[in-house]
Amino acid sequence: MQDKDGGWWMLDAFDRRLPVDAGVIADAASTTAHRYRIVDRSDIYDGFRLRNATDLLRYAGHNVPLGDRVRLLSALDENGPLSFADCLRVLRETQPVAGLASLILQGLVEVELDEALIGPETMVRRIRA
């Protein structure tokens, strides 16, 4: 990955045990001007991000009709951030949760994934291109 300062990293997020000596990998990374870091299991499995991402990805192939997309984006423009529950009321042509999840995955709207599980009170914000 590339960090915000432009540095390149090689991250190892293994599930059970590192398949190769970390020192060997770190040396190989440094020969290509990369830094190496082992990502702790708790960074991946603790918290809400992975669970929320899994919940959203279920709707990755869902199509949102133009009418619903325009209605939701207009409502967010007019009112600012809305709760997840309020956004569901705007969607009429598609299954509301599937439509909103799809718009999140498409990068048109965003929700906070790290604070709690996505629920009725989760705030939805429009992403400006």
What pTM does this model have? Answer: 0.72
Tens-digit pLDDT profile for residues 63-113: 999 999 999 999 999 999 999 999 999 999 999 999 999 999 999 999 999
The residues, any chain, with a CB within 8 Å of residue 30's CB and separated by 6 or more, are: 36
The more confidently predicted of residues 52 and 16 is 52
